[in-house]
Amino acid sequence: MNKSKLIVDSVAILIGDYSIYRKQAALLILKAMLPSDFVKILLSDENLYPFDRNDTRVKEWTNKIISKGKCELCGSTNRLEAHHIIKWADYPQGRIDIKNGMCLCHDCHTEQHKNDTSYHMMKAK
* Lowest-confidence pick of 43-52, 79-88, 94-103, 116-125: 43-52
Residue 50 has pLDDT above 70, yes or no: yes
pLDDT of residue 106: 95
Give residue 46's pLDDT.
61
Q: What tens digit of pLDDT does each residue of 64-74 get?
A: 999 999 999 99
* Single-letter amino acid, residue 89: A
First vs last Cα of the chain: how many Å apart? 47
Given phi > 0 = left and psi -120 to 50 = alpha, else beta, which region is 79? left
How do the domains of the chain map onto residue ranges? 1-45, 52-125
Please state, in angstroms and rounded to a whole number, the distance separating the CA atoms of residues 72 and 104.
6
State mean pLDDT over 93-98: 91
Find the mean pLDDT for residues 109-117.
88
- Cα–Cα nearest to 78, from 108, 105, 101: 105
- Average pLDDT (4-24) is 84
Looking at residues 22-45, what average pLDDT do you find? 84
Residue 102 has pLDDT above 90, yes or no: yes
Confidence at residue 90, expressed as pLDDT on a 0 to 100 scale? 85
Residue with more model confidence, 120 or 34: 34
pLDDT band at 13 (very low <50, low <70, confident <90, very high): confident
